[in-house]
Structure 1
Amino acid sequence: MRIALFITCLNDAMFPKAGIATVTLLERLGHQVHFPQEQTCCGQMHANSGYAVAARQLEQLTSSVFGGADAIVSPSGSCVAHLRAHTALPVYELSELLVDVLGVTEVGARFAHRVTYHPTCHGLRLLRLGDKPLRLLRAVEGLELVELPDADQCCGFGGTFALKNSGVSGAMLDDKCANAAETGAEYLAAADNSCLAHIGGGLARRPGAPKPIHYAEILAS
């Protein structure tokens, strides 16, 4: 199977560890991962802001760049949801590729920490990932997974929503961070670094609160 990595522009610019972890994990499982150098933004940000023409150009570019892949994996549920809705690419969020395509839940990881998991909105509601990320985390040696209260509630990020509706966004963030702190976890994991950046900003202001981490980094450990 020819697997290609779509890193996403946010991860490439700010959170490269998620992409590195994804490749490390898949290579450990015996797969080669192709990284097209020509990849750029998928167009999600433009579409969400009403720039339909620019979004379509980026969608078409992404389709061209990744056209030869049997499977495209990305450590970003929101970008996967956008590409799945606007292209015919065989694109998968990491847990989908592992569980549904490769048939793997035990990835040989070890992470001796207490972890809670936030299911991001795109992964939960658009991709319907269900318990796939949780199944992968439960199989990690040494990891203690604790339930996040009101886990299905949005963290308040929502891209430009956090900027245009900062008061509401901040209130939602406070609730999410309070619930995360209540778990006593050392880390809060999620499948989208955009949400983790937002939640991480709130958690950083709470002494002893969990640290944000992309769950791919746990699976690659």
Structure 2
Amino acid sequence: MATSTAKRFIWKSGKVLSLRLRNGQHTLLQLLDGKWRFAAFNIFRDRDEWDDVYLSAESLLFTNIAVKQFFIESELTPQKGVAPASDVHHEEDRISAGDTPTKYRLWKDSPNEFDITLIGGGPNRLRKIVDYNELFTPIANSEYEEYLHIEMKGVQNYPYLNERLMLCGEFGCNADPKKELMFDRHLPLEYRPYFELLAHTDNYEKYGYNPLG
């Protein structure tokens, strides 16, 4: 992936951007009210052409928050001809897996066995904010399907958000490797690069992303 030439990013709510992914595909993001909040859509194309696209909640993948670095390092192009979705808003509810560093062994006893330490470890809980207070409700792993639309607690960053969006396009759904791990789901081997990127910045160049620092 080419090195980003822009090292500043001007935020404007309602702006629509196309994002080039490392597999050569493009997808669309919309900036939301509240700085660094964005919406991702289940729209992926080989060409960066969007004249016939209509954004709405129907094609929404998820909303989340990303740090400034994601917007600076990613290959983003303003799409002034695409109207923002008027029915998409940031989802405040989140799933918390706790704050304990936990070691996971992925694809155990296979040639692709991989160890990673992540903040989490469970149990999973739904976090709601009511009158500025955080309220938590336990979630069983068996309830995963009921919470597909709720994101994990935490902010997104470059390049593992880019990698996740690429996986969303390849699987045709809201793929979230970390969430699926926290719910003890089967992890496709295609998720391994995501976890490698999450584990160490030394892996960025291996997958064509800009080295940081």
TM-score between the two structures when normalised by the length of structure 2 = 0.26
Q: When you count strand as a share of all residues, which structure comes out higher?
A: 2
**Larger proportion of helix:** 1
- TM-score calculated relative to the size of structure 1: 0.26
